[in-house]
Amino acid sequence: MASLLTRRLQFSCLHRFLRSFNLNCGNVTRCASLDSALSAFRSICGEGRVSLGEAVREQHGKDESLHRCCPPDVVLFPGCVEEVSALAQVCHRHGLPIIPFGTGTGLEGGVSAVKGGVCFSLRNMDQVLDLHQEDFDVTVEPGVTRKALNSYLRDTGLWFPVDPGADASLCGMAATSASGTNAVRYGTMRENVLNLEVVLADGSVLHTAGKGRRPRKTSAGYNLTNLFVGSEGTLGIITKTTLRLYGVPEAVVSAVCSFPSIQEAVDSTVQVLQAGVPIARIEFLDDVMIDACNRFSRLSYPVMPTLFLEFHGSEQSLKEQVNTTEEITQSNRGSDFQWAQEAETRERLWKARHDAWYAALALRPGCKAYSTDVCVPLSRLPQILVETKEDLIENRLTGPIAGHVGDGNFHCLVVVDPSDPEELHRVHLFTERLARRALAMDGTCTGEHGVGLGKRALLREEMGATAIQVMQGLKDVLDPDNVMNPGKVLQPREI
């Protein structure tokens, strides 16, 4: 069985190789060495942790995006950094692509094995390693998800706030520079990663801030930590991350407020921030989105532009935060707050927000969703939201909008029939127009999902030729053979 699969693997590798290079030399030696690579993998992490099964490979070739599944040739399940390093050395010797895999909850095709190769599934490395309560930091392995970490922290009075919705792995969140609903208060992964352990393309092990170091700030040399945060597996495999933690707030309260117009919802957001209210979450849902959430989560909010808000603090400070915010929303013709004070009610509210994806899908059963991810300066939000809604209507697309408006970041959850090429094309054109609209407003095509496969051309437009050359130069230094998650972030060079 294994040898049959090995032959298939060799054939698939050969086929891809011929196709990508359009010539037929050199590849035989490379593919012939796969047998020896497989045998080396097995001797490093054991037979049971090297999978050639089709179902396993399929499962690891796809994330939650619309990007097509490109299964890797083999999936490895290493158990420790030493194994990851040894396995990477084998890949390096054999020139095999490496694709790191956390939970597969990405949204830009980051785990797609577009050039085949070896998927490193890190789910077995799932230990919380070092918790320093007094220092507000913790180190975790890549199999630890954000929910698992917060469960682990339950009795410590501490928590890790970055929350992209999905129960993603924390190292995966570092790799994609994730953020989510409460970045407005606690920052993104960029601000919350203190140190990373990374296995580089040649198998060497890098500690981006020095081994075991965890000062809250540093000026020691180039900031390697933030070079790897957001590098989407293209510079190395993150095998440990040291994170900042926060004290669990004494009190939490959530509220919902509806507005007659988008402008008034966004104006409220800007004014709340200007007033210095340390708001923990301020989420915008447009009328289409709130309608979808009402249906999916059995809620009954008015079908109008809406803000979901959350306040963290002491009882006393909550009162003041809420008063200031309510004054501002009312001066912008917002409704009275609908409260969610009990943990259960709050959880229901935020579950509804996090279920927006499924609520959008439920609008058109059998369809798939693609989430756009632009981010613009706050003052440009009303204009881009209005123009985007007009664009959706003009182009007969279903695309409820939800956004982290405190950061200027919003998502259009475009629901599309994947079997309809014409509609897919319309979606594609829409997402490009939306991204260019954001670029024209000093914004970015991706606030938190990353570039992956889908935004490589847009990245070039956004950054300009010099920045892309610099990025390519950094990639070449760290991964001269282009084996680390090839084809992501940067476009393949012309040959």
Closest CA to 137 of 118, 124, 156, 122: 156
333: contact with its own copies by CB under 8 A: no
327: contact with its own copies by CB under 8 A: no
280: contact with its own copies by CB under 8 A: no
Please say whether the beta carbons of 176 and 205 come within 8 A. Answer: no
Dump the DSSP string for 273-339.
HHTT---SEEEEE-HHHHHHHHHHHT----SS-EEEEEEEE-HHHHHHHHHHHHHHHHHTTPPPPEE
The site map against its own copies for 382-401 (x = CB under 8 A) is --------------------
Q: Which of residues 153-212 bind its own copies (CB under 8 A)?
A: 157, 176-179, 183, 187-188, 190-191, 200, 204-212
Which is nearer to its own copies, 3 or 466 (by Cβ)? 466
Which is nearer to its own copies, 192 or 398 (by Cβ)? 192
Q: Which of residues 106-125 bind its own copies (CB under 8 A)?
A: none
26: contact with its own copies by CB under 8 A: no
For its own copies, which residue of 342, 347, 420, 442 counts as binding (CB under 8 A)? 442
Q: What is the largest CA-CA distance in the chain?
A: 73
The site map against its own copies for 342-371 (x = CB under 8 A) is ------------------------------
493: contact with its own copies by CB under 8 A: no
Which is nearer to its own copies, 222 or 422 (by Cβ)? 222
492: contact with its own copies by CB under 8 A: no
Which is nearer to its own copies, 28 or 467 (by Cβ)? 467
Place of tokens 């669990």: 248
Strands 306-313 and 401-404: unpaired
Q: Which of residues 131-150 bind its own copies (CB under 8 A)?
A: 132, 134-137
Cβ 132 to its own copies, closest distance in Å? 6
Which is nearer to its own copies, 37 or 277 (by Cβ)? 277
Which is nearer to its own copies, 338 or 409 (by Cβ)? 409
421: contact with its own copies by CB under 8 A: no
462: contact with its own copies by CB under 8 A: yes
Which is nearer to its own copies, 78 or 110 (by Cβ)? 110
Which is nearer to its own copies, 23 or 477 (by Cβ)? 477
Please say whether the beta carbons of 18 and 27 come within 8 A. Answer: yes
For its own copies, which residue of 84, 98, 201, 229 counts as binding (CB under 8 A)? 229
Q: Radius of gyration over alpha carbons of the chain, in Å?
A: 23
Instruction: Specify the amino acid at residue 401.
Output: I
Instruction: Specify the amino acid at residue 2.
Output: A
What's the per-residue H, E or C state across 83-144?
A: HHHHHHHHHHHHCCCEEEECCCCCCCCCCCCECECEEEECCCCCCEEEEECCCCEEEECCCC
Place of tokens 């928590």: 159
Cβ 325 to its own copies, closest distance in Å? 12
Stretch that binds its own copies, among 33-41, 57-65, 143-151, 459-467 (CB under 8 A): 459-467
The site map against its own copies for 297-316 (x = CB under 8 A) is ----------------xx-x
10: contact with its own copies by CB under 8 A: no
End-to-end CA gap in the chain: 37
Distance between CA 304 and CA 261 in Å, rounded?
A: 8
Distance between CA 45 and CA 386 in Å, rounded?
A: 54
129: contact with its own copies by CB under 8 A: no
Please say whether the beta carbons of 117 and 73 come within 8 A. Answer: yes
464: contact with its own copies by CB under 8 A: yes
Distance between CA 304 and CA 263 in Å, rounded?
A: 12
For its own copies, which residue of 65, 306, 446, 482 counts as binding (CB under 8 A)? 446
Which is nearer to its own copies, 224 or 304 (by Cβ)? 224
Which residues are paired to 414 by β-bridges? Answer: 370
Q: How many CB atoms lie within 10 A of CB 454?
A: 25
Please say whether the beta carbons of 191 and 183 come within 8 A. Answer: no
The site map against its own copies for 64-103 (x = CB under 8 A) is ----------------------------------------
For its own copies, which residue of 154, 213, 351, 425 counts as binding (CB under 8 A)? 213
Residue 371, Ramachandran bin (φ over 0: left; ψ between -120 and 50: alpha; else beta): beta
